[in-house]
Amino acid sequence: MKKLLLIGLLIFGLSQIVNAAEIALDTFLYESFSFGSTTVKTGTTTLTTDTTLDKWIFFEGYYSIETGAARYRTDSGTPTASEGHVFGTNTAITVTGLPDCRNFKAISINGGTVTVRASYKRK
């Protein structure tokens, strides 16, 4: 019985360590990019070409729109003014996983200039 209790406590403790690791991400990269009626992909070459980032288990991109309204996709498809997830002024989204952050593409809904700020976190 004591062994079972000890094993249960060990499993619980390990699960708490994993949960803490998922939450405590370090911001390591920031970018700002603007676009209009032409589709834009995540702008930084560090994010899209640096293969050393592949080793990070937990990865998130935090995107906020400063001005304008856009549609975005993270599945490697191309958004259009009428296709993709809507993303408007003073809103923010979190994209989880390096492949989805690398595939992040957006386009202005009405052709006006959209400014996005992005921070990338890893652990």
Can you give the CATH number for the domain in which 104 is found? Answer: 2.60.120.10
- For 62, phi then psi, to 5°, come to -110, 115
Position 87 in a domain: yes
What predicted TM-score, i.e. pTM, was given to this entire model? 0.74
- Name the domain count of the chain: 1
Alpha carbons 106 and 39: distance in angstroms, whole number: 6
Say if residue 9's pLDDT is above 50.
Answer: no
Alpha carbons 71 and 33: distance in angstroms, whole number: 15
Q: Which domain holds residue 117?
A: 27-122
Position 14 in a domain: no
* Cα-trace Rg, the chain: 19
Q: Reduced to 3 states, what is the DSSP secondary structure of residue 46?
A: helix
Max mean pLDDT among 19-28, 55-64, 80-89 falls in: 80-89
Say if residue 49's pLDDT is above 70.
Answer: yes
Max mean pLDDT among 24-28, 37-41, 51-55, 110-114 falls in: 110-114
Position 3 in a domain: no
Q: What is the pLDDT of residues 65-110, one digit of tens each?
A: 988 999 999 998 999 999 999 999 899 999 999 899 989 999 999 9
